[in-house]
Structure 1
Amino acid sequence: MSKIQSPCVGVCKFKRSGPAGQHCIGCSMTEDQKKISKSLKKPKAMRAFLALVMAQQQVMGKYGHWRAAYLKRCLKKGRRVPDEVRDAS
């Protein structure tokens, strides 16, 4: 099974305020969440984390750009698109 791509889309600008502090304008993760995502090794844990980030984006709003950017990043890195992203339309 191939590695799950991180929710990060390579923007990394923490300019959006949220309940957990500053969030990235590209993916909605906080700096702490970005650190956590780098430490996740098991696909099951990464899929769960990806679902959490997607739910966070939905609550915060204004992340409609993320899915297309994530799909492009998966393609560039040669990684399979997780079902959680593929099914979320």
Structure 2
Amino acid sequence: MAKTWKNAPSPCIDVCKFKRKGRCIGCSMSREDKASFKRLDSKDDKKAFLTALVERLKEQGGLPFWATAYRRKCEKQGVPCPLDKLPVDA
């Protein structure tokens, strides 16, 4: 069984332009968010982080673009995409 949450890559999709109140226009994370994701060890923490991020992206209208890029990133890294485990239309 694949460890979807344990192996979840960073939600960063390598756009890194901080123009929306200190949040990246690609992934909607702040610099602090990016640093904190790297320190998350448990699957529950990663799941909570990604769930909150998906909700933020939905509110901002950036979910379709980000979800496509994140799925591609997971595929390139050869890991299961955590979005498939979330109850969202990502």
**Same structural fold, with TM-score higher than 0.5 when normalized by the shorter chain:** yes
Percent identity, aligned pairs only? 35
Contact 2:15 2:26 in 1 (8 A): yes
Q: 1:16 aligns with which of 6, 9, 20?
A: 20
Q: Secondary structure at the match of 1:65?
A: helix
Q: In structure 2, what is the equivalent of residue 47 of structure 1?
A: 47
Ranges in structure 2 where 5+ consecutive residues have no aligned partner = none
Runs of 4+ in 1 over 6 A off after TM superposition: none
| 2:42 counterpart of 1:57 | no
Question: Does 2:61 align with 1:84?
Answer: no
Gaps of 5+ in 1: none
Between structures 1 and 2, the one with greater strand share: 1
Equivalent pairs counted in the alignment come to 84
* Equivalent position amino acid for 2:43 in 1: P
TM, length-normalised to structure 1 = 0.83
The secondary structure found in structure 2 opposite 1:64 is helix
